[in-house]
Amino acid sequence: MEYALVTGGSKGIGYAVARMLASRGYSLLVTYGHDVARAMESKTLLEEAGSPSVEMFEVDQTSPTAANDLVGLIGGRVSELCAVVLNAGVTLRENFGQIDPKHWEDVFAANIHFPTFFLQEIAPQLPKGASVVFTGSLMGVHPHGTSLAYGVTKSATHALVKNLVKFLSPFGVRVNGVAPGFVDTEWQKDKPAEIRASIESKTALGRFCTPEEVAGAYAFLLENPYMNGEILVIDGGYSYK
């Protein structure tokens, strides 16, 4: 049985990726943050989408034990993980002059420390040919005034992908990243109309990406055996207009 792990897979981009993997017949291991009701709803929908098995795990990635905790939860199935999608992350919207050091550290813990040390634990057990895909961000490419911590950690995510190639290649494991632009998830749909219009005016295609479109980028990186160490930006031509 082929397993795929998707962190933060109960909603948004993570859910779209999990649904894509379900349609390809993967058994799924999915983490979520705290919304149990949404996690159970997503489990049902992923099973209906074609996954033969869906297991949901509540994981707080800001916890210093989160990486080891998840390794313990998925247990012996690590050796069957053909796809690992490290999607979950947190943001911080405090003004620059008011950033709390603990909140700043939590963003780095969730977005950088957790995936690094999780891979440290599981890499030797992954099957040869396994593929890892990180979720980066357009905010790691273009500076943005909304969240300093998020932008910096997503830049670090992109660097982590490229550096991990050296460390995962001895195990026969590929690693890539997707840097989505503005995707029509629940979070983006709550933006005021004038802000959405401003974003659309800066995008060559004139609209937000659908979750299904961005999931296709993950599918390409997971399935193409020659993609390694790449950050695939999917932003509809943001800044080209």
pLDDT in tens, 193-222: 888 888 888 899 999 999 999 999 999 999
Q: Is the pLDDT of residue 189 over 80?
A: no
Nearest to 239 by CA among 137, 135, 138: 138
d(CA 138, CA 66): 26
d(CA 58, CA 40): 11
pLDDT at 227 (0 to 100): 98
pLDDT at 228 (0 to 100): 98
pLDDT at 154 (0 to 100): 96
Q: Is the pLDDT of residue 139 over 90?
A: no
d(CA 157, CA 161): 6
Angle between helices 211-223 and 12-23 (to 10 degrees): 60
b/e per residue 80-97 (b: at least 16 CB within 10 A): bbbbbbbbbbbbbeeeee
d(CA 148, CA 35): 26
pLDDT at 147 (0 to 100): 84
Angle between helices 148-168 and 114-122 (to 10 degrees): 20
The pLDDT > 70 percentage for the chain reads 98
Q: Is the pLDDT of residue 22 over 90?
A: yes
pLDDT at 75 (0 to 100): 92
